[in-house]
Amino acid sequence: QGCTQKYIVKNYFYYYLFKFSAALGEEIFYITFLPFTYWNIDHSVSRRMIIVWSIVMYIGQVSKDILKWPRPLSPPVVKLEMRTNAEYGMPSTHAMAATAISFSFFTATMNQYKYPFELGLVAAFVFSTLVCLSRLYTGMHTVLDVIGGALISAVLLVLLYPAWDTIDHLLLTSPFCPFFSIVVPLFLCYNYPKLDYYSPTRGDTTTILGAAAGATVGFWLNNQYAAAAYTGKSVQPGLPVLTSTGVFVLARFLVGILVVLLTRWAMKSVVLGMLGYRYKFPMGDLAARRRLEVEVPYKFVTYSSVGFTATVLVPLLHRLLGLM
């Protein structure tokens, strides 16, 4: 579906603010902020955020395709995004992700770092609110979609919080962790609710679960063969405050994100090439890439490689380059 409405931007501050805020609930934010937290702030915080994010997003995506509530009609609203327009609306997964990431980060850091409780709470609230409002501004969700997404995410956070330490300990120490981290997400992806038409929700869900699976295997491997991760303090430096530390933080991020993006590009090319050879289709065939037998392995292998690279290979490269 294409947007046939023309519009005039009358307030560029709101326009760019909410376009930017909408991007905080998309892949470009996940692939930068979550690894940045792991490389530069705290391993335990990053692990908890990834666990919460993957669970919340899976439930949100599946709920959309079970409830099948339509997005706002256009007209009267003007839709500023087209990629997700084929998805259903309720709940808003942008609202769910923003609530989950901001408040899980706040909850995981408030007892480990010294900063005003009120400041952290306000920052989490402002972050999630901006993303929620961006979904209304861009015409992609109703108020009910956004409120529903934020509430569902909040409830899931409350339910998961008492089990955080137990889940984290099992993911780091259980010998069955690598097996279940791969098999369970793959099972969920291949058994995703079927729709009468193609929607990007299955592909996005596979991307999220694949990245979380690769990262989880990386967490386990690091704990078994590298520096122990199950400690009260991170093996990374604390929040950067000095200029010299800031330089190392920036260097770690730039090196890491370059390796992650190269991994994504290389694995996407290799996996699509192999699947294209297996199922006899050219790499540019979009319809073929949307088939279950292609989309799930292509996205799962690609993004599990990204998650594994971010948690295992990039830290090793940081050590080799003297950036630790």
Q: Which residues contact 298 (CB under 8 A, 6 or more apart)?
A: 268, 271, 272, 275, 289
Q: Which residues contact 212 (CB under 8 A, 6 or more apart)?
A: 50, 51, 53, 54, 185, 307
Tell me, what's the pLDDT at 210? 93
User: For residues 50 and 57, is the Cβ–Cβ distance under 8 A?
Assistant: no
Q: Write the Ramachandran bin of 208: left for phi over 0, alpha for psi from -120 to 50, otherwise beta.
A: alpha
The low-confidence residues of the chain, meaning pLDDT below 50, are 1-3, 228-242
pLDDT digits (tens, 9 = 90+) for 294-324: 889 999 999 999 999 999 999 888 888 887 7
Q: How far is CA 258 from CA 21, 212, 248, in A?
A: 24, 19, 15
Distance between first and last Cα of the chain: 48
Q: How far is CA 47 from CA 54, 107, 187, 311, in A?
A: 11, 13, 22, 10
Tell me, what's the pLDDT at 250? 85
Residue 197, φ and ψ in degrees, nearest 5: -140, 165
Q: Write the Ramachandran bin of 291: left for phi over 0, alpha for psi from -120 to 50, otherwise beta.
A: beta
318 tagged catalytic: no
Tell me, what's the pLDDT at 227? 54
Tell me, what's the pLDDT at 4? 53
User: What's this model's pTM, rounded to 2 decimal places?
Assistant: 0.83
Q: How far apart are CA 122 and CA 129, in angstroms?
A: 10
DSSP category for residue 168:
H
Strands (E), 109-168: none
